[in-house]
């Protein structure tokens, strides 16, 4: 398989980017490393001449960029997503250094599209955006000055992804681990988390208490479980049954 083919399923996602210059520089960084799939979530100014100026010949990456209304939409079809964060915060996600994150991304491309997700210049990724990811990656820096320019962070990680793909390409092709059912996509995972929230509310599991923390733990646990689409359906079947029972019980009490 050619290097391009290894890299084709790797999507770079930029969320809430304020400066078109950064979008252009990111496209240039991607193209130098052989990446071409760019998704922009709510870019402030795009298309914009300043993006093209900084792309310096990577205009094709900009032209093909998909625009999305939400991060979930941008990575709906992905089987693995990694959030890039400048801060080592309490995010309850497995945290990787760049080479390890890149290796896992390249390995997962055997199963479907994968994404590297970058936050806005001023604020970075929200905790909500990070909770949609399977893991986080931090480029090691000086402890008191950890925030790289957005496009430079894209460059570092794109380089690591290229290196990981080169290593993978040099290895003898081992067939992907046979699994009967396709991996769960981010969209299926998000629908399942929505269903969990709805059903757990309906069976009064939360007892009126705030449940954000518990949902975060559930998210982390179920992302770690590497579910396939049938397993998601099984869990949702259990939830639906619990909802049915709760409705029956409520009906009996009301009689
Ligand atoms: N002030 C923001 C940083 C935003 S920099 C904050 O404190 O979170 C814009 C984006 O570049 C970040 O959201 C992240 O995706 C990426 N980035 C910057 N520095 C990084 C680092 N050291 N490791 C990983 N990603 C980084």
Distance 65 CA to ligand 1 centre (A): 21
Report whether pLDDT(186) > 70: yes
Distance 102 CA to ligand 1 centre (A): 17
Structure tokens at 114: 């994968």
What pLDDT, on a 0 to 100 scale, did the predictor assign at position 190?
A: 96
Strand order in the sheet with 66-68: 66-68, 37-41, 10-15, 114-118, 80-84, 135-137, 95-96
Does the Cβ of 169 fall within 6 Å of ligand 1? Answer: no
Does the Cβ of 83 fall within 6 Å of ligand 1? Answer: no
Question: Does the domain made of 3-170 have the CATH classification 3.40.1280.10?
Answer: yes
Does the Cβ of 121 fall within 6 Å of ligand 1? Answer: yes
Average pLDDT score over residue span 209-223: 92
Does the Cβ of 106 fall within 6 Å of ligand 1? Answer: no
Top-level class of domain 186-254? mainly alpha
Q: Rounded to whole angstroms, how far apart are CA atoms 30 and 2?
A: 17
3-state secondary structure the chain: CCHHHHHCCEEEEEECCCCHHHHHHHHHHHHHCCCCEEEEECCCCCCCHHHHHHHCCCHHHHHCCEEECCHHHHCCCCCEEEEECCCCCCCCCCEECHHHHHHHHHHHCCCCCEEEEECECCCECCHHHHHCCCEEECCCCECCECCCCHHHHHHHHHHHHHHHHHHHHHCCCCCCCCCCCCECCHHHHHHHHHHHHHHHHHCCCCCCCCCHHHHHHHHHHHHHCCCEHHHHHHHHHHHHHHHHHHHHHHHHHHC
Average pLDDT score over residue span 81-99: 88
Q: Rounded to whole angstroms, how far apart are CA atoms 12 and 58?
A: 14
Query: How confident is residue 255, by pLDDT bands cut at 50, 70 and 90?
Result: low
What pLDDT, on a 0 to 100 scale, did the predictor assign at position 177?
A: 67
Q: Rounded to whole angstroms, how far apart are CA atoms 112 and 75?
A: 11
Average pLDDT score over residue span 73-79: 97
Note if the pTM is more than 0.85.
Answer: yes
List the domain boundaries for the chain: 3-170, 186-254
Does the Cβ of 88 fall within 6 Å of ligand 1? Answer: no
Report whether pLDDT(173) > 80: no
HSE of 140, CA atoms in CB hemisphere, 13 A: 6
Query: How confident is residue 125, by pLDDT bands cut at 50, 70 and 90?
Result: very high
């Amino acid at each position: 398989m050619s290097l391009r083919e290894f890299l084709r399923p790797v999507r770079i996602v930029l969320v809430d980017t304020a400066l078109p210059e950064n979008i252009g520089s990111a496209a240039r960084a991607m193209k130098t490393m052989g990446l071409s799939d760019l998704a922009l979530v709510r870019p402030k100014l795009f298309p914009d001449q300043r993006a093209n100026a900084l792309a310096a010949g990577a205009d094709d990456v900009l032209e093909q960029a998909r625009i999305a209304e939400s991060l979930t939409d941008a990575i709906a079809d992905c089987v693995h997503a990694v959030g890039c964060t400048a801060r080592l915060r309490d995010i309850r996600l497995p945290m990787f250094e760049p080479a390890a994150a890149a290796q896992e991304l390249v390995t997962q491309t055997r199963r479907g599209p994968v994404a590297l997700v970058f936050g806005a210049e001023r604020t970075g990724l929200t905790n909500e955006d990070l909770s949609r990811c399977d893991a986080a990656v931090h480029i090691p820096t000086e402890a008191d000055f950890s925030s790289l320019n957005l496009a430079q962070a894209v460059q570092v990680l794109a380089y690591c992804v290229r290196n990981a793909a080169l290593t993978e390409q040099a290895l003898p092709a081992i067939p992907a681990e046979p699994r009967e059912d396709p991996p769960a996509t981010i969209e299926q995972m998000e629908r399942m988390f929505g269903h969990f929230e709805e059903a757990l509310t309906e069976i009064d599991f939360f007892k009126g208490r705030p449940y954000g923390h518990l949902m975060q733990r559930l998210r982390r646990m179920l992302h770690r479980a590497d579910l396939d689409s049938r397993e998601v359906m099984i869990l949702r079947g259990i939830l639906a049954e619990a909802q049915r029972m709760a409705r029956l019980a409520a009906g009996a009490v009301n009689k």
